[in-house]
Structure formats: C-alpha cells, structure tokens
Structure 1
Amino acid sequence: MRNNKDNINGFFGSTKMGFKGFFFISIGIFVFIGFILFGRGKTNKNSGAIEDPYQLEVVYPRYLDYPKPSSGMVALTNPPALKWPVEKGENIRYEARLSSDSILSNPEKILELKDSPWAIFNPHQKLGTGTWYWQFRKSGGEWSEIQHFRVADSVRSIVSPTAEQFLHALPLSHPRVLVTQADLAQIRHLDPNNDIRAILLNAEKALKTSIPEEREGQPLKKGKGEEQNKKLRLDASKELGTQVYESILALSEGYILSGKEEYAEKAIQIAFEVASWEPRGVSSINDFGDARCMLSMALVFDTFYDRLSETQKAGLLQSIKPRAAHFYSNWINNIEARVLSGHVWQHILHYFFQTGIAVYGAEPDATKWLAYAYELFLAKAPVLGGMDGGWAEGVSYFRMNMETMIDIPLYIKKFTGFDFINAHPWYENQVDWMIYHIPPGSASDGFADNSEEMDMPGTEYVAFALELAKLTNNSKASWYAKKCLEYEKADLSGHATLRWIRLTKTRDLPIPDPKPSLDLPTGRPFHDIGVVSMHSDISNTKENLMVAMRSSPFGSYGHMLSDQNVFNVLYGGKKLFYRTGYKVSMSDPHRTGWYQHTKSQNGILVNGMGQPYSTEAFGWIARFLHTDELAYAKGDASMAYKSKETGEDYSVLKNYRHLILLKPNLLLVYDELEAGNPVAWSWLIHSLDEMKINRENQTFSVQQENALGAGRIWASEKLLLHLQDTFDIDAVNWRGTLGEDGKLKSYENNQYHLKASTSKKSLKMRFFTIIQVGEDLNDTELSEGWSENGKVEIKIGNWTISANLDLETAPDLFVQNHVSETVFSSHGKMLRLQNQSYAGNYPGSSRLGVIDESGFPLFKEAKDQVPYEMQARMQYVQNNNR
C-alpha cells in the first residue's frame, strides 16, 4: 500500500527555489532584544521600533493574531517556521510564498506552500543571509501584505527534511512503533537488565488482569453539582483509557522482548474489546483516555501485524480511524495557532504521531495525520519553552512533556537522520533550568500547578537528565542526574517514563562523565518563559538559600498561575516562604479562588484584588546582574493587573520588584508601585509552617527544623499586619485523588498567610523587606535597622544596605560590602570602587562594582530589556500603527 505516497505532492504543494540572484545585506545583522529607554511612549527614530512595552495588551494571546516572523526581526532559526492567524471555517486551505525578492515577482526565487489545511509553513531548507519576504492567504483569496524578516550569519541552522521525505523514509514492514522489524532480533536477544525485568514483570501483571469493559468508563460516585460531576466523568473516562493503554503497552513490550505467545493473545483480546466500543462514547469523554484507546489499538495493529488476519486488521483500523480523525479535524487550522494547548503537547501529540506511524500505508488518511503532526512539532516545539530553556507551565507539568520532546525527534532521526535534539538550543539549555529551578535534593521553584508537590526532582527528572546527557553529550546533565542520586533513590526501571526509549533507542549511547563540580553562577534568568532563580550555594543543597521569581510574557493561563512578580524562598531544599493551597481540579472553587489567585502567592494585591487569570496579565524579567556573592533581578509586572478578556483593570501603572540575594543568607525585596487612582496596597508572604509576627517592629519569622527565616518590612505608608492560618476557600478532596504514595491526598487547612496592608489609599507605594535565613541565625540585626526621612539603613554581617522609601525623591536600593568592596545601586547611583567613580552609560541603570580575582575593579550595568517575543510584537504593532 506504498502508493499512498503518490498523493503527497498534491497535498503538500510544490517547492521551487533558485539561489542565483540572491542579494545579501552588507551590514552586520543582530537581534535587538530590546533595551528600553526610560519613560513611556518613546520611539527610536532610527529603527522604528516601539520602545514602550506598556503599549502591548498581550504578548502571547490564546491564538496567534499576527504573522511571524515579520517586521524586520532577525529570525531565531534558519529557516524559521512561518505562522499566521487562522481563519475559522470548514475546509479552509492556505497558500504561502517566501522569497529574497522584495516583491515576490520572480518564480525562480520563490518557495511555495499550496493547498495546506493548516497555517504553518516550514521551508525545510537553509535560507541565505539577508532579508526575506513572504505572504500568505486563504486559497483563492487576496494575498496578505508582504512581511519581512532577516536571516543573520550567526543564527542557528535547523534544516529539517520535508514531510514527504519523512513519510517516504518509513519502513514498509511492521512493527515500526515500539521497535522496527530490522531491530527486533537484536532487542529480543539483549542481556537481561533491570529495565527488561521490570517490563516483563508488568507484562505478567497485565496478563493476570481482567479485560476492561466499556461500562467501567462511567464514574462510580456523584459530585455536588454539574461541575463536579463533569470532572468525575472525565476522571472515569481517563482511567479507563489509561488501564487499556498500560495493559496493552506492557503486553506488547513484553512480547517484543520475550516472544511469549500469551502476551500477544491477551493484548489482541483487549484491543478487540476496545474496538467494539463506541468511538465517541464514554471512552472518548476524556481526550487522554480517547488517545490512549486509539494508540492501544494501533500498537496491537503494528506489533502483532503478522499474527492478524486481514479481517482483524480492518476491524482495528475501523475503530482507530474515527478517533484519530477526530483529533485531526479538531487540530488543523487550530492548534498550530494556539499558543497554549497543554493536553496536545503533554501526551496526545506523541500518541497521535505513533498511531500515524503504526497505520501508515494501511489507512490512507494517515498520510495527512502524520504530515500535520510532523510539521506541527517542527514549527512549534518547544511550545512552552524558549531558546534559553525552561518550560512555562512549570516543573511538575513538564514531566508530562518529557517523552514527547524526546521521542518524536528520535523517530525523525531514526527514519531520516535529522537530529532535531542537537539542532535546537532548547535541549542544551534545558538542563540549566532544571539545575536552577528544581535543584538536586531540593523542592521546586513553586511556579504553576502541582509544583508544590515536588519535594525533590524525582525519578523522571533523573531519567530525563540522563537521556539529555547521552543525546547531547552534555556532562552538565549527567552531573545533575548524579547529584540528584546523592539525595534520593530513583527507581529508573520501576518508572515507565523514558524506560522503553532508554532500552530500545539510546541504550548504546555513552553517558558523558560528569565533572566533579560545576562553576555555576549565583543566578540564572530564563527570559523567554519569564523566570529567574538565585542561589547562595547551588551545589550544596543542605546550606543553599534559593529564591526564585516569576514574571512571564506568557501571563496566566492553563496550568500557569496569577503570579507575576512573585517569589518563593527555600533553604536547605525545604520550602520556607512559599505559595500555598492545593490544585484539587482546574475549576474547583479553592483553585480558582485561592490556589491560582495572587492572594496565595508572595506578591502584591491592589484593593484586595489580584492579577487576572489571563494571558493579557503578563510580566517579564527586565534586568539581571550577578557576581560570586550577589545576584540581582528586576521583574516588571506593570501590565499584570488588567485584562480586557476578563474585564478587570485595577489601575496599576507600575509594579517593579527588585530582588537581591546577598551571600550567605540575605534576601532583599524592593517594590515600586504606582496606580492611576488611589488604591490600598497589600504585600503578601506565606509559609507552610507556623509563622509568627511582631506588629510593633513589623517582623515575621518561621522556624523550621533546619533553619530560621526572619524578615522585616518597611514601607512608604503605615502598615497594618494581618496573619491568618486558614484559606479563604476550603480545599476538599471530593475527587478522591491519590498522591504519588498511593494514599488519599490530604488538603489540610493549616498554612500561614501574612498580609501587610496600607492604612490608607495612595497613588504610589514602596515596600522594602529584608529576609534573613540560616541554621544559626542572629536575627537581632534586623531590629537594629533604622528609618529616617523615608530612608532605611541597616547593617547585617558585612553588608550595609539602604533603601529609599521617600515618594518625593527617586527610588534606589544601595548595597555595599565593606570587606569585599562589592557595591550595587538599583537605580543609577554613581559607584565608587578603588577610588574610581563609575557613572555608567545609561541613566537609571542598575550598577554593580566588584573587585575581580586579579584585584582589579570590574563594573557592570543593566538597563531594562524585553525578551524576543515581546520585541517582535512591539515591532509589529509599531509597523502597523504608522
């Protein structure tokens, strides 16, 4: 049935390119990520770029609403994927064309996409240095305005095969998914190891379990109201699909390894039971369950292909097709333009891709299924990450994306030779995000759903780091895995994540030797996703003070929370001052009214209200500086308190948060706030352990087994402190959710919440807080600080600190170490270092002076910058507002 490929040319359109006549820009091209001039509403007359991010209503709307790349931005990869807003409707088709010819008039210089049902165009060939022009249109309609972008010599080259080439490379024989026919004999004769033993043990268990029935997809209990009942139906449907998938996967893997006939017979029985179910019935209510049923049948079709009669194959295809077709029809002209589509990327795209591989050649529609999945992955991966690493939905939900991000590229590499993993910079930078935001032996940074449940990285992160190490020869990744194992026992073989990939695809790759120690900077920002983390001793978790802040261009949506410019503090890997609450379910009143709300975070409330739950409520990490003994970050959440989508606007004009980590044990938090109307401001801090306060000197403290954390708050207005140990909305485990230990989750209402609120409303506000942490802490130094004429001064250890709270004068946070001579100013104060004065090049910049290892003065400065996606949108808005 290879002749399905004969239809591919008509499906993909034609591609033509002539390289003769290319012209090249003679001047150097660089990515202007966006240093912003101080003051709003300014425009750089030379570049035409907006230099005011406050004119943006959103950075990542739910659906792409402008063509990318455009407006003369330097592309991040060569070639870039071209994307544009979708036009809703039935049977929509698109065309696109790309050329170095500015008027796209020379057919010999045009790359074309024709008759595409999705709004993405991967050129699949390297573009010449210079400016490129492109257009798109709905087939038969008018062409869009000509867009343009630039290709620099230094940009990362990611040249992938075409979808047609990928499909032609798929083997004719079966199996293809879990293993190829060519590799089957070698896999079956591997020497037994822990992975093989674990897989065979699971196969034996599956052999003894009963065959699931469709009626088991109905919930066994009722909730209170339709919302709870809907979620219980989703849970039951997912559980049914998961049961089917885990059984068939275990039996199929067991059969591949052992050839045991009983495994094949049982897997086939389960598959035909699922094939008898109504494809759009209870097993499809939950999209995870639906996809797992689909893939389960596809695995049986592929793994046991030679054992099945033609009638049996047709029966499985008849049941696989409506499920796969449902995903495809819902995704095309949709998912490629959606910024956030969590379930698709968590597992389902991977399942869909594997299903397409399994039935390709037997099911004609698999051509378009696979082509879409292939092009979508290449155009958007990593969908919630950035060039600099990270994952916007946090450390907990990233676990659900690990196999998708590893396995799809490995299929592509196996069949075509193209190595996406080593081509894309996200993979090499991802380990830095893990090190800084879920360090070995430590709880996580606390951002996004369920991250509070992770007290250590766990088996999945160890497994993922080891795969990164092997696939990218990254010794830092192997260091991370080894360091994690010093703190926890990771049962790699006992956990399914990446196990089969490790056994069948990467088993012969060497793990690079980890270095004995790493020279890790004090802090690391991830501007693309909007997080930063700072550590006093990241290689020594037991004595490490960690502070992490989120201020993200992604805003709040999906599994992200309303937490722009919020921070979490950990010491010794334990949560010290940390956000509170429980997820329960996405629409549960406790989640929506507390857990996802800013009131549960170490952030700022305005008139008692938090940030809208919206992509329009965004922020960014505007500045970052560091030395060996100090790390500084500025978050800008000025746009985080309004959203047209939700109809909220709390009049906030400015929300700057400055964080400084001073080694060994100090954290400084300096907030600049401003509103269009007088408002009441509240500064929040939380702890999972008992918090004590002293209202007279405005201090708070938490004593843990390993450390004491103590803080003191100053403000430009008089404060009223309120401490509570209950949630505004109770958390109830009405779903009967189990923890990773298999026990019923307990949602205890015994966490602590401090709110320091102004006694009167004001247009402007400044807060300054010092937090001191340590095992043997002398917190009396906190009480010795003094405030006069709006200026706070305090000396702690070798550090002298001053903060200006006087609203009539310019803000500044000034720090000096009288032993090492390190000196810092947040707002442009002239620095003195070894009898030399340093004024900096930019008014109002943050400035840092240190004495380097050679004894010479070193001066650094930082002014506000915006990440690439913000700069791209600012440029587009500017070009279209002329």
Structure 2
Amino acid sequence: MIKKGIIIVSLLLLTLHTFGQQQPAIIKLNAEKLHSRVREWPYPVNGITVPTNAPALLWPATNGQTMVKPMESGSEVPEDPNIGKVRYKVMLASDKNFTKDLLTGSEQAWAVYPLHQSLKPGKWYWKYAYALKGSNQWTWSPVYDFVIDPKYANEKVSPPISVVLKRNQGAHPLLWDMNRIGADFYKNNLENPEAKKFIAFAEKLMLAPLPTEKPQRVIDTTGKNKLEKKIIVERMYHGFGDAVGTPVRNLCIAYQLTKDKRFILDAKRRALNIANMNPNGLATGDDFTSGAVLEALGWFYDAGYDFLNAQEKEIFKNIITIRAKRVYSHLPNRFELHVSDNHVWQITLRNLAIATVAVINDVPEAKEWLTYMYEVWSARFPVLGTTDGGWHEGNGYFRVNFKSIIYLSQMFGDFSGVDYFKLPWMENLPYYMLYTHPVDAASTATGDMWENIPYIVKGEAWFAEALTYKMDNPYLNWYVEQIKKEHPDYFKGSDDYLLFRLLNYKPNKTLAVSSPADLPKTRKFADIGVVAMHENLKDANKTLSSYLISSPFGSSGHGHASQNAFTINFKGKVIFGGTGYYSNFSDKHNLLDYRTSKAYNTVLADSLNQKIGEEGYGWIPRAISGKHIQYALGDASNAYGEIKSDFWLNRFKQINVVPNKTNGYGESGVTVYRRHMLQLEGGYIVLYDELEAKTPVKWTTQFQCPYYTIEAQNTENASEQNFIVNSDLGNVSAKVIASSPLKMQVHNKFFEPAVNWNKVTNDEGQIKDFKEQWHAGITSEAKQKFRFLTIIQIKDGKTEIIKRLNSNDGLAHFQVGNWEIQAQLDGDQASAFQVSNKTIQSLFSYGNVPINFEGKNYIPKIAGSSVLLEMDSKKWDITEAVDELPDVVKYDKKLD
C-alpha cells in the first residue's frame, strides 16, 4: 500500500526569515491548488523519496485528445463520451534506459498502477503511455523518477490481482470468505449473545410484508422549479433501496448463523421481489437506491445459490449484470482520478464490490470489475486523508463513509491478506475521532450536515465499536466504553456493523483501556487541516475545547470555504462555530451562505468570501501542545479570489446565480492571512491575525453563534469592539482590538435565507426547523496590511476586565487575569505577538519580541519561529516550531 500523496505544488517559494540561518521558519505556498478535482499531474516525480516500498503510479487521464475534466456521479456536468476509448500501459526500471529491473504493465483502461511488489532501495524511473482502442500507436509520457528509502524495505506489500482472483475461485458462498470459514463462523457464534438476539430479530423479520415500489415519504412539489422537483422526487425515494435490500442481507446472515432453511427461503422470496423491480424506475433508479438493491441481490445470489434453479440463476445474473454495468461503465478513466467522487466512495463502490464477488465466476465481466476496484482501492484509499487519520469533509459527512471503510477493508483484506486496519491512516483514526468528536461533546462544527451531530450519534458509536474488533488501541477502547456508558440505548438491537462483529467475534477477548488524560492536549491533523485543543480531553463535555481549521483540500466536496476558521466548544456545546443549514448540496442558501466564509469564524476581505473549490485552500503550518498554553497557526493566504472550479461554477449556473461581488464572491487581492490561535489555561482564547492584500481592503473578522445570541457592548475606544454571548453555559465575552477604528454589526439574519424546502430531517427522522442564528462582524478601515488581536473569555463565573497597560516598545500591551498579552497591531511593522503568565510560569512568543522570563533571556534558534516555554519540575520545557508542510506538499509535486 502506498502512503497516498495527492497533489501539486506548481511553485513552492520558501520565504526565509532566519537572518542567515539555513532552516526556513515561514513557508509561502504559491500553488494554485494542492488537491485537484481530478488528477492533473503524475506521481511520484522529481526524485521524491516516497514513503513506501511499493508506490502507486498515478497520472492525468486523457480521452485521446485532451485531459479528462472533472465530472462525478450525481452531477449535471456531462460525462466525457470518449473516456472509455483509451488504454494505458506503464514501464518501470532502475535505469533511465529501461533495461535494468524492468517491469511492464499490461494494457488497462484506468489511470492508476499500484505496484504489488516491493522495490529495492534506490532511484527508479517510470513512464506511461496511452493509445486509442484498436490502435497500436502509443503516445509516451516523459520519464519520471523517484527514490525508495531502505527503511521501507520490510513493509508488507499487497499481492497482484492474479492472487486476488485466484482466491475468489471456488463454490458459493464467496462473500466474506464463507466457503472457507463458514463452518467456523457457525460454530464460533453458537453461544454469541448478540447472534442469538439477531436470530430472534430475523424471526420477526420474516413476518413483514413484501415491499412495493412507493416513496419513503411524500413531499409537496407545488411551486418548485424543475431542478427542485427533481431533487424532491429523489428525496422521496431516498432510503428505499436500503429498506428493501437490508432484510435480504439480514436473512442471509441469519441462515449462515443457523443453517435454518426458513431464513434463506424467505430471503429468496424477497430477493425475487426486488429483482423484478424496474431498474430505471423512480424507486430503484438512482445510484444510491439501485446500489443498495444491487448489493442485496448479490448477497442472496451468493448465500442462496444452492436454493436457485437454473432459470432463477439466470434472472439474478441478468439483473445483477444490468445494475452493475450501469455503475461500472462510468468508473474507469474517471473515478480513480477524482479527489473523491463522494457517492461512489461512500456507498456504490461497496455495493458493486459485494455484487461483483457474488457473480465473479458466473459473469465474465465481473473479473474486470473486481480488478478495477482492487487496483483503485490499493492506489487511493483513504481518498480524503493521507496518514493523519482525519477526513477532510468534517464529521457530518465522514459518517456516510463508515460502512464502506469497515466492509471494504474487511473484504479486500480477505482477498489480499493485507490488514488494512493497520494502515497509518487507520492507526491514527481513533485519535481523530477522540480529538474532534469527544464523548458527549460537540464536534468541530464544520462541513456539510455537521449540525446533525451536536453529540455522538448512533452511526459514529457503532463505527467506533466496530474498529475495536480489529484494532488494539486502549484509547479507542476507552472512547467506546464511555460512549456505551453515556448512550447504552445506542447498542440495543441490530445495526449495520453486526456482520462485521460476527466475522471478528472472539468470545474471551479482553480490551485494554487507557484514559486520554495522559495524551497531549493538542493534536494536529495536518493532512486535512485541523488542530484540536482541549483543556481536558477526558472531560471535554465539562471543559473548554477549540479547533482551528485550514484545509489543503480547500472546500472540495462536502467541505466548506472555512479556511482559518475557529470553533469554540464549552461544556460539550458549540459556542462559536459554523452557521446555516444543509438543505441541499447546492441550493441558494448553501452556495451563498452555509458553504461560504460568511458562515464561519474567519475573515472576509471587502465582504468577499474565500473561493469555493479546491483552489481556495489553507493549511496548518504549526501547532504546539503545552501544559497551560495550546497553540495553532493556520495559513489561508491562498484561499481568496475568483471561483475557478468549473464544477462549482456549473452548480451556480444550475440555480441561476452569478458568483459576483453582489453575491459575496470575487477578487479581493488577499496575499497573506496567517492566524495564530492560543487556548490559555483559565478559559481564554487569543487570536492574532496577520493580513495583507495587494491594495487596501476592509477586513472583517467574524463571529458566528449557531445556538446562542450575541449582544454588542459599549466601547470607549474606536479601535476596540466588545460583545458578549448569552448562553446557558456561563459567561462569554470577546474583545477585538486593532490600531485604527473598527465598526461592528451584530444581527441574526443569513446572507441568504434558510428554507427547508426539501424537508430535510435530523438523525431522529424529524423535519429540521431552520431557525435564525446570530452573527457579529467587526470591520476595519481600508488597509493594505492589517492586524486583529482578539481576546475571548469563556468562564463559569464572571469574565474579567481586560486592562490596557502602558508600553514604550510600540506594542499594544494588555492584561487579563494573570495573563499578559503583547501584540504589534501596526500592519506596516513586523508581526510580533507574546503571551505570558508568571503565576504558572508559561510564555508563548512569535516574532521579533525579546523573550525575558523569570529573569532569564531566551533567543530562538530560528528567527520567525513560534516558541513555547513552560516550567516543568523546576526545569524549562522549551518547544520551538517552524512551518511544516503537509504530506500532500512533501510527496506530490508537479513538474515546473
């Protein structure tokens, strides 16, 4: 498996602020994007040392004339009709002339080539070629090179597809290796209490009537336009495929647990019923419903094969082939290139994989389908992360991927012998869950549908528990144990991960448990751009947590234009976070408010948002975890400007909206936006923003409260603005300070009204009430260079008066509680920011500010670094951080 690097750096400019020293402190990225919607450059290139001994070779696809452009399932952007007319092949060798250690790939229809063999250490060269179908005229790429590090020599490598196909030979049932483990599966679960409960559930399931093709819900379409009507009709049938398909799967599992023919015969009755449903009808015609039906048909065909006569086998093979081809025919030379074609990765890839294995030896095309899926899985998983365990789109939509992550990891592991639960990303996944959605507490409050998970919901709980069956992580075990204590009702009855638990059931297994109290308070997830800071990770539902968000993926997919946005949670609830509501992927409220920077605690320039699309990216250069001070630095310098993504421009066009300045989009000329964020012991958040543009702009720093009200407070200083948040959690106040006059606007209106025209429901199935929410914007005069200093207090008791102290060094100087804060607020001067507390002997410093603490001077090793000094057992604990690139920049660079 490769550690997936995903992108481009068209030009990487290292800005050296080190006064003659060799290591740079500040890195400036000038790439237009770090992740492209579809691959635009080859990987690996430029002699990069890859983090594996068997990388996947990736390259831009072609239709024979031009590069394949972005398109995806469910999009109105038409598919390129020529994407299926080309074939590729690759060559790899340890010399430029391709004579030594030569590896050649056979012709293939897709633009990825995972190496299923370990390469010897040293430099390797590769190239790819394409030709039109039926032609022997191959067009070759330039020669690219990369290096294999000896330290990866002993890594286990996934086997070639020939091994996978051979393992799938044999009699039914093939799914989940049942033709090999079926007897053990039966015996192992005879005394499993959960299996016994499930069998009792299946007994009742057989009494349910056969389903008919009708809507899951009825929604009035009166007065809606053509696009809205289409979306509403899809919404009415959403979930139909699962409703009719899940009982078939469950009855098949019950049969494998009991060998009781009643279960498989009832599964047959239901499977024949849905086999006769119209594959092009409203009920099972879209990708989600048809995919669920396809999976159910595959389940029964495999588990119930011996209960079918010849005619019935033909019925199932034909309908599986029809539905599978409809999915597969749109994948090669497109899907593997996409940053994340959500519907396929979330659901339909799993549906297709299960159905494919079921007919692998009976439908000739199925071997090609499985080959493609295995190769893409080997090359691209996990698509929205690399190694840090995070998921770019936020936790609201991460959960839609859970079933596929679990079951495809199990399935491809069965085939290949590779334990996909030991991938670096998988091993870090428990920490991502623990830090970004603590037990009985809110999440990061970003991305589509985050508002549906104010606390951990059932799907997250089940997923976390499922991971404990394959991972030996005591913090994960603690996390699940605590969820079970808080939500015992989540774990009653059947759920989607039952089969996984049955497959991996160990009667006498004991789980080691460790409290996260001994983990660092801060953790950086650089690949997806999140820093999580906690006062007490173990009791996040009672204490202060904060997050800084700045994603290398930009606002791709279900992600939002929220670069350098912060979220603050207290006692498990969101105080400051994203606002608005997910009613549809791209209606007016979504594209003009909910998805935009206007909905987040970040900065607008001349009231203009950050770009929607992969081009509007940010990243997290630094983070430090201390005892009393937590620190994060986000860089959103590349996030602003005109929208360039054809995909998103098409979405605006579909709803007849122009992304112009009137609607909050356009070129603002921002060149620098670096946000320093500190969480200080005692209930304080401090922000220091470095802002620059090509010409003077009005800078607006925003504060969004999705659940509470904001109330403006009087100020005697024109360069300061104050407000409070009225909540049931305690006292919350904020002061924003600059070097020139500021104006504040507090209101409870969305830029574009939120209307639940699509009758979107919450996790409990109740139609959501789109209530108004509160917003504050604090705006500067037009300045080319500007600084904001923000001090937020979150207290059980009263907040404290922030005192302005005298200063003769040109810095603004403040005291709040025992904390002293100094900041350079003049944008024409070099940035400087220092926070200290003599009582608890802690100091943070950034910029050219003398560090004198406890009577001692400290000179940073690298000028421009961020420095944290804290006393630990009568000894200074010193941490110095400079900018560190995310993996996508380290490993996946475009040729200049």
Scaled by the length of structure 2, the TM-score of the pair is: 0.88
Q: 2:106 aligns with which of 84, 101, 114?
A: 114
Contact 2:116–2:159 under 8 Å retained in 1: yes
Superposition deviation, residue 197 in structure 1? 5.0
Match of 2:862 in 1: 842
Q: 1:690 aligns with which of 683, 689, 709?
A: 709
- Secondary structure at the aligned position of 2:48 is classed as coil
Superposition deviation, residue 51 in structure 1? 9.3
1:466 and 1:745 map into 2 onto residues whose CA distance is: 28
Contact 1:471–1:509 under 8 Å retained in 2: no
1:713 aligns with 2:713: no
1:238 aligns with 2:258: no
1:754 aligns with 2:776: yes
Match of 1:7 in 2: none
Match of 1:226 in 2: 226
- Secondary structure at the aligned position of 1:95 is classed as strand
Map Cα deviations across residues 73-95 of structure 1 (whole Å, 9 max, x no partner).
12122211111111123331110
Contact 1:195–1:493 under 8 Å retained in 2: no
Map Cα deviations across residues 498-547 of structure 1 (whole Å, 9 max, x no partner).
22101123445835310255411121111111111111111122432111
1:143 and 1:240 map into 2 onto residues whose CA distance is: 47
AA paired with 1:226?
K
Match of 2:752 in 1: 729
Provide the alpha-carbon RMSD of the alignment.
Answer: 2.8
Map Cα deviations across residues 23-82 of structure 1 (whole Å, 9 max, x no partner).
xxxxxxxxx9x9974369x9x9999x9996442101111011111111111212221111
Superposition deviation, residue 789 in structure 1? 9.0
Match of 2:139 in 1: 142
1:804 aligns with 2:803: no
1:822 aligns with 2:842: yes
Match of 1:22 in 2: none
- Secondary structure at the aligned position of 1:398 is classed as helix
Aligned length: 835
Contact 2:169–2:361 under 8 Å retained in 1: no
Matches within 5 A, 1:165-180: 165-177=163-175, 180=178
Superposition deviation, residue 99 in structure 1? 1.6
Q: Structure 1 stretch 127-136 or stretch 268-277: which is displaced more?
A: 268-277
1:50 and 1:102 map into 2 onto residues whose CA distance is: 36
Match of 1:269 in 2: 269
AA paired with 2:834?
F
- Secondary structure at the aligned position of 1:496 is classed as coil
- Secondary structure at the aligned position of 2:418 is classed as coil
Superposition deviation, residue 146 in structure 1? 1.0
2:200 and 2:220 map into 1 onto residues whose CA distance is: 32
Contact 1:831–1:847 under 8 Å retained in 2: no
Superposition deviation, residue 258 in structure 1? 3.7
Match of 2:150 in 1: 153
1:582 aligns with 2:581: yes
Q: Structure 1 stretch 760-769 or stretch 234-243: which is displaced more?
A: 234-243
Match of 1:678 in 2: 696
Superposition deviation, residue 412 in structure 1? 3.0
Q: 1:659 aligns with which of 677, 688, 706?
A: 677
Q: Structure 1 stretch 296-305 or stretch 182-191: which is displaced more?
A: 182-191
Q: Equivalent pairs: percent with the same residue?
A: 28
1:787 and 1:574 map into 2 onto residues whose CA distance is: 38
Per chain length, whose mean CA-contact separation is higher, i.e. which structure has more relative contact order (CA < 8 Å, sep 6+)? 2
Contact 1:35–1:863 under 8 Å retained in 2: no
1:100 aligns with 2:100: no
Contact 2:214–2:237 under 8 Å retained in 1: no
Q: Structure 1 stretch 793-802 or stretch 629-638: which is displaced more?
A: 793-802
Superposition deviation, residue 420 in structure 1? 2.3
Superposition deviation, residue 205 in structure 1? 5.0
| CA distance 1:774–1:330, shift in 2 (3 Å) | same
Q: Structure 1 stretch 690-699 or stretch 429-438: which is displaced more?
A: 690-699
2:809 and 2:22 map into 1 onto residues whose CA distance is: 43
Superposition deviation, residue 237 in structure 1? 4.0
- Secondary structure at the aligned position of 1:761 is classed as strand
| CA distance 1:787–1:342, shift in 2 (3 Å) | farther
- Secondary structure at the aligned position of 1:93 is classed as strand
- Secondary structure at the aligned position of 1:115 is classed as coil
AA paired with 2:670?
V
- Secondary structure at the aligned position of 2:820 is classed as strand
2:396 and 2:157 map into 1 onto residues whose CA distance is: 32
Superposition deviation, residue 171 in structure 1? 4.9
1:780 aligns with 2:785: no
2:390 and 2:806 map into 1 onto residues whose CA distance is: 41
Superposition deviation, residue 487 in structure 1? 3.2
Contact 2:49–2:891 under 8 Å retained in 1: no
Superposition deviation, residue 96 in structure 1? 0.7
- Secondary structure at the aligned position of 2:723 is classed as strand
- Secondary structure at the aligned position of 1:319 is classed as helix
Contact 1:238–1:287 under 8 Å retained in 2: no
Unaligned runs of 5+ in 1: 1-31
Superposition deviation, residue 220 in structure 1? 5.7
- Secondary structure at the aligned position of 2:733 is classed as strand
Match of 1:863 in 2: 882
Superposition deviation, residue 660 in structure 1? 0.6
Contact 1:470–1:511 under 8 Å retained in 2: no
1:443 and 1:50 map into 2 onto residues whose CA distance is: 34
1:717 and 1:489 map into 2 onto residues whose CA distance is: 55
Match of 2:15 in 1: 38
Map Cα deviations across residues 795-850 of structure 1 (whole Å, 9 max, x no partner).
22322111111123211110111123322112243423554433223221112222
AA paired with 2:672?
K
Q: 1:741 aligns with which of 737, 761, 764?
A: 764
Q: 1:125 aligns with which of 117, 120, 141?
A: 117
- Secondary structure at the aligned position of 2:408 is classed as helix
| CA distance 1:785–1:572, shift in 2 (3 Å) | farther
Matches within 5 A, 1:502-521: 502-507=501-506, 510-516=509-515, 518-521=517-520
Matches within 5 A, 1:554-569: 554-569=553-568
Q: Structure 1 stretch 333-342 or stretch 483-492: which is displaced more?
A: 483-492
Contact 1:571–1:707 under 8 Å retained in 2: no
Q: Structure 1 stretch 535-544 or stretch 78-87: which is displaced more?
A: 535-544
AA paired with 1:772?
Q
1:453 aligns with 2:452: yes
Matches within 5 A, 1:456-495: 456-489=455-488, 491-494=490-493
AA paired with 1:741?
E
Unaligned runs of 5+ in 2: 1-8, 64-81, 132-136, 650-658, 660-665
- Secondary structure at the aligned position of 2:363 is classed as coil
| CA distance 1:292–1:786, shift in 2 (3 Å) | farther
Matches within 5 A, 1:235-384: 235-384=235-384
Match of 2:603 in 1: 604
Superposition deviation, residue 246 in structure 1? 2.0
Superposition deviation, residue 596 in structure 1? 0.7
Map Cα deviations across residues 362-411 of structure 1 (whole Å, 9 max, x no partner).
11111011111111111111111221211111112221222222222222
Match of 1:14 in 2: none
- Secondary structure at the aligned position of 2:537 is classed as coil
AA paired with 1:339?
V
2:34 and 2:508 map into 1 onto residues whose CA distance is: 40
Match of 2:429 in 1: 430
Superposition deviation, residue 783 in structure 1? 5.8
Match of 1:162 in 2: 160
Match of 2:630 in 1: 631
1:312 and 1:384 map into 2 onto residues whose CA distance is: 41
1:795 and 1:762 map into 2 onto residues whose CA distance is: 27
Contact 2:13–2:29 under 8 Å retained in 1: no
AA paired with 2:444?
D
Contact 1:522–1:630 under 8 Å retained in 2: no
1:408 and 1:800 map into 2 onto residues whose CA distance is: 53
